Chains A and B, each alone.
Chain A
Amino acid sequence: MGKLDLLSGNKAVAYGAKLSRVQVISAYPITPQTPIVEYLAEFIANGELDAEYIYPEGEHSAIAAALAATIGGARGFTATCAQGLGYAFEVVAQAPAYRAPLVMGVANRTLGWYWSVASDYSDSMPTRDLGWIQFYAESCQEALDGVIQMYRITEDERVLLPGMVCLDGFHLSHSSEPVDIPDQDEVDEYLPPRKIYKHTTDPTESESYVYPSLPVSLHTTYRKIFENAMQRTKDVIREVTKEFSERFERDTHGLVEEYHTDGAELLLITMGSMSTAAKRAVDRLRDRGVKVGLIRMRFFRPFPSEEILRIVEKNGVKAIGVVNRAISHGTSMDPLGAEVAATLYELKNRPNIINFIAGMGGGDVSIRDFESMVNKLTNTLNKENVRETMYVEHPIKIETPSVKFSDAAYCPGSQLCAGCGATLAMRHILKILGKNSVLVFPPNCVSASLAMHFPSSWMGVPYVLANYAAAAAYARGLQRAYKYRGKKVYVTVIAGDGCTADIGLQSLSSAAESNEPIIWINYDNEAYMNTGIQRSGTTPLNAWTTTTPAGVKWHGKKEEPKDMISIMIAHRIPYIATASPSFLRDFESKIKKAMKVVEKAEGLAYIHIQSPCPTGWRFPESKTVEIGRLATLTGVWPLLEVDHGTFKLNLKPRKLKPVAEYIKLQGRFRHLNDEDIAMIQKFINKRWEKLLELDGKIMW
């Protein structure tokens, strides 16, 4: 028997992966998926799970690495959602061709449209036609069970297709429920070790591998063969989920779940967590004598048309309400509604159908909403051939903020943490840049805080929310538009360290190489703080983050931070500098120099700001400025600039303070012993000597 614990959906997925004994994990932080990979990192750090852990620079690579691990014979796992899934779309499309049993957790979240971090299926729905199996969980328990079931399904030799385990972002991913965690022995009995197939890419064990491209004349044929495998998967799903249910004594099987479908005249078809509210509505209506039932789609791919037809025919269903958190623009239906309608085509007496578009962007769909939906269905009973779409709306009044500021570049009241270094930096940046500027924001703490007072902002200059990996490209496009139209506007990117050093680096590199006159400000808080303190390319050596925890096996981040200044020096751009909000005169003069450089259209100006983060670095918020100052005075954060090739150390203390003074103030270094600190001191001393040598030198 398993153990009962209170788990969030994300933790349940992490447990599912752990119990499935995943061997290679590769993922990139994105809300609301992040906790899945944080928990997995913790399992490895504590010695509870033996697996490789890859930290790629973005989702495109994250899913590629997990896929490749699966191609190479390991049990691979990855997780993402929304923009991440969109960014990785190309890899997602490629994956099924390898016939590699990769499992991906998807904590569903709105893709693109109007930017919400909460749940709808606009991220996983566009991937529905690519050849992945798609499972949608209703509860945290099902999220855990779903992962284990999915490995069993995908690794079955009749299947060998990648699979997604989808759970509603926040509604499930961040809500805790009692979950029965099965024993490892039980799971081991159900899920045998990963097999090496004939087509697994392993020169030591397998003599063949997957042919990567096909002659045109075979494409249609292979699509047919692939589709047959997809259709065949339905039987495998029915069989192995049934076995799961019997073994673990839980009723969680099949492609769909039926709820009070017996004698149902009216039928709701739902997916995911909203089904629970729908079931309660069915209970209430059944009590009142309304003959209503529910089908919950456990699997959306392969599509359970047989089950739907059987239930509709058997009960003589007269009207169906398909409710979904999705819409297929241009059709006025959602993909589920469209497919249910297509499925019903086979019937002679087709029931009426209303497609309810509900809960987009994570909006709540309540029991009363479902009751009123059923009411609408009842109203169609005296009509024939009804096919309608209805939007379940909960409109709010658009109100203006209570305190207003006129003609300001900045106003207080942002939702950034108390004592945030980036708030201090942003205030001074905006003061210098003035109103004639456009800011480009990839996702980061500051950009997330900008839109929290709908429909206002605490920033008095326009900004463009850029896609993470393309921040520099957005800036290039804007800059060229103003250039072409003969305008002088400062285009400035405010990026975090994750965008600069990881996911956005190639876009930045290309803009730098092309001498685009834009200002790039990297406010470096040394981790992915917006998603909740995950390791980035600039996280310092040994620092604790949620994806580099300190435990039995791990000791914080194992690698040294990426040297962004050297990377920018290699691009020979006209202005490169580091700055600190603790040294404001230096800070402001550097922004002014960057503005001069872009004014003269000399090229890209790069300013790397250290932005102490009380939340992520674990220090009292009153010490932000003090820590920034100590970083510079200990040599951890040297203030330097490379002005048209000439290297200059802006602040040269006669003697550096011991690095321990800086480190001991921060909880993220709490696990370090004197030896570790001595090692860091050695690294700092060596780098400082090198910087002194470079001072005054011409770099290119």
Chain B
Amino acid sequence: MRISGLRCWKMGNREEYPEIITISTKEIGSEPVAHWRVVKPVIKYETCIKCWVCVQYCPEGVIKESEKGPIIDYRFCKGCAICANECPVNAIKMVREV
């Protein structure tokens, strides 16, 4: 019996695929999720007391400590507003984006 392929025109490339697909643990990666956001957290640095509660509670871990205060990686912020809700001094304001 003959076995052959019927690739649909245009759609595919003709590269060879590995027999076993593996994931790297050395280098991981993902795609930005900024487009999920409806509201965006904005930090009022003059109010911030650098308690880093937002850094701890950000589910995505996209808030980093810095000398001037927390810095948000907006590429990966989903806009859940937990940081604003948890901030003890209301130093994070949620601003409508869409």
Contacts and interface: CB of A to CB of B under 8 A. Distances in A.
Contact of A412 (B60, B79, B85): B60
Contact of B85 (A416, A424, A459, A625): A625
A427 interface: yes
A381 B21 CA distance: 39
Given A404-B28, A413-B30, A392 B73 contact: no
Contact of B56 (A421, A584, A622, A626): A584
A421 B58 CA distance: 10
Given A418-B79, A424-B57, A622-B81, A389 B1 contact: yes
Contact of B12 (A395, A401, A424, A624): A395
Interface string A611-632: 0001000001111111000000
A624 B15 contact: no
Interface string A414-438: 1111111101100100000001000
B23 interface: yes
Interface string A398-412: 101111111110111
B6 A456 contact: no
B31 interface: yes
B59 to A, nearest CB: 4
A415 B1 CA distance: 44
Given A388-B2, A402-B29, A395 B7 contact: yes
B8 A394 contact: yes
A373 interface: yes
B3 A401 contact: no
B32 interface: yes
B3 A413 contact: no
A373 B8 CA distance: 10
A620 B85 CA distance: 11
Interface string B38-70: 000000000000000000111111100000000
B80 A404 contact: no
B76 A372 contact: no
B27 A390 contact: no
B23 A412 contact: no
Contacts of B3: 332, 388-390
A406 B26 CA distance: 6
Contacts of A373: 6
A460 B85 contact: no
Given A368-B8, A395-B11, A412-B73, A456 B24 contact: yes
A423 B28 contact: no
B6 A453 contact: no
Nearest to B77: A412
Given A408-B28, A621-B80, A403 B75 contact: yes
A245 interface: no
Contacts of A332: 1, 3
A620 B26 CA distance: 36
A477 interface: no
> Which of B62, B79, B86: most chain A Cβ within 10 A?
B86
B12 A427 contact: no
Contacts of A414: 30, 60
Given A393-B6, A626-B85, A419 B1 contact: no
Contacts of B13: 395, 397
Contact of A456 (B14, B23, B80, B94): B23
Contacts of B80: 418-419, 614, 621-622, 624
Nearest to B18: A398
A531 interface: no
Contacts of A626: 85-86
A404 B56 contact: no
Contact of B11 (A394, A406, A459): A394
Nearest to A584: B56
Given A388-B4, A393-B12, A622-B85, A427 B61 contact: yes
A184 B75 CA distance: 54
A412 B29 contact: no
Nearest to A459: B28
A401 B23 CA distance: 12
> Which of B4, B11, B31, B94: most chain A Cβ within 10 A?
B31
A325 to B, nearest CB: 15
B32 A413 contact: yes
B82 interface: yes
Contact of A621 (B8, B21, B27, B81): B81
Contact of A435 (B17, B25, B94): B25
B8 A401 contact: no
Nearest to A387: B1
A321 to B, nearest CB: 10
A525 B33 CA distance: 23
A482 interface: no
Contact of A390 (B5, B58, B61): B5
B91 interface: no
A396 interface: yes
A455 interface: yes
B85 A456 contact: no
Contact of A396 (B12, B21, B75, B94): B12
B85 A393 contact: no
A540 B38 CA distance: 31
A391 interface: yes
Interface in A90-116: none
Given A388-B1, A623-B85, A405 B29 contact: yes
A412 B79 CA distance: 13
A393 B8 contact: yes
7 contacts: A396-B12, A402-B31, A417-B78, A423-B59, A456-B28, A456-B30, A457-B28
Given A412-B73, A414-B30, A621-B82, 9 more contacts: A372-B9, A376-B6, A388-B1, A388-B3, A396-B12, A411-B30, A413-B32, A413-B33, A621-B81
